A = this chain, B = another copy of it.
Amino acid sequence: MNGDHEDRRVRRTRRLLRESLLALILEKGYDKVTVQDVLDRADVGRATFYAHFHDKDDLLVSGIEELVASLRQHLAVAARAGSHESHAGFDLARALFEHAAAHRRPYRAHVSGRAGAVLRKYAHEQFTTLLREHLHDVASTHGATPVVPLEVTVQYFASALLGVLTWWLDNETQYSAEEMGNMFLHLAKPTFAAAFAVTADIQKGVSSDAVTFGKELPHAV
């Protein structure tokens, strides 16, 4: 059987390349790093590089995938732990800041301003996917009807979260992960309430001033 284990040389090469790129991003920013830089730093031959990765972007993405996997796992644990209190696992944000604090180096390289356009886009996609699933769940579980098109809310939250996180990563942190998480939640929660109309409340006529936007609901035009 071999299925699972790569050749030791392969593992070594890929690890060296990923680590070198990471270090170089932190030093010069992704856009200014050349393949040659990575080769020199990793002390790996040119032909070898192209045997493993199609180009610089490919290496970059490969590097972040393990970080994303690690984050997803961390979030899953956090979701299970806190699902009964507060806003139904809404402390995903808190968990994210914790995870970022625990893996500050890769986060700075891959999420902050030092990262290139490729990764910012990738990170944004990860966040929107996560939030889309989450909001969808919450909506159907709590019988909440979107007042604003769900996708707009998703983009809104994902961008705000990514933006605050990026700022925190790029500015020598004066706030702890916990503080950041709490601040974000404090800002986000009221919006969360505004984005959905709880069906029960509507029946009570409480949400009389709730306006519905977009074309999702027929009577809204």
Residues of A participating in the B interface, judged by any CB pair closer than 8 Å = 31, 113, 116-117, 120-121, 124, 147-149, 151-153, 155-160, 162-164, 166-167, 174-175, 179-180, 182-184, 186-191, 193-195, 211, 213-215
Contact = CB atoms under 8 A, between A and B. Distances in A.
A148 B195 contact: no
B183 A194 contact: no
Contacts of A159: 159-160, 162-164, 166
A148 B167 CA distance: 15
B148 A156 contact: no
**Copies of this chain:** 2
A187 B195 contact: yes
A95 to B, nearest CB: 18
Q: 6 smallest A-B Cβ distances: which pairs? A: A159-B163, A190-B190, A160-B160, A155-B167, A117-B117, A183-B213
A214 B179 CA distance: 7
Contact of A156 (B147, B164, B179, B195): B164
A185 to B, nearest CB: 10
B113 A116 contact: no
Contact of A31 (B117, B147, B155, B179): B117
Nearest to A113: B121
